[in-house]
Structure 1
Amino acid sequence: MSWYQSGGFSIARDRSKDGAGNGIGFRLSIYLGDGQTRTVELTKTDVQGIKREASKALKEQKEEA
């Protein structure tokens, strides 16, 4: 079973969501298990924020070790 199939997520570029007011579009898919997936539309700013928060959490965890 892959990481995604066991409750993971993916972020993919979604050109159909691009727009003048929205900017660059992305799609976040979260696999919940039992065939259930949730999808969220994101902007480039959202993805950059997720990256920043993930990096911060990993850095804090590394400092604790």
Structure 2
Amino acid sequence: MESQGMHADGAAERESKYPIKHLASSYDRGVQIAAARVRIITDRGLGKRTPDWILQLAAEKLAGDY
């Protein structure tokens, strides 16, 4: 039987009815850059033109790029 405030998997419910807003981090930017690079490869394979803003994003350096 579930106790009040707990989910079946044992995770507690959040007390606040307002969720915590997600704060952007360098990790998120890295994911965006990687996704932009995949989009370029996909567009190329499909014969589509990649939007300029995606090309600019993909050109940014990822952590670990040299």
TM-score (norm 1): 0.35
Bigger share in strand: 1
Greater Rg by CA: 2
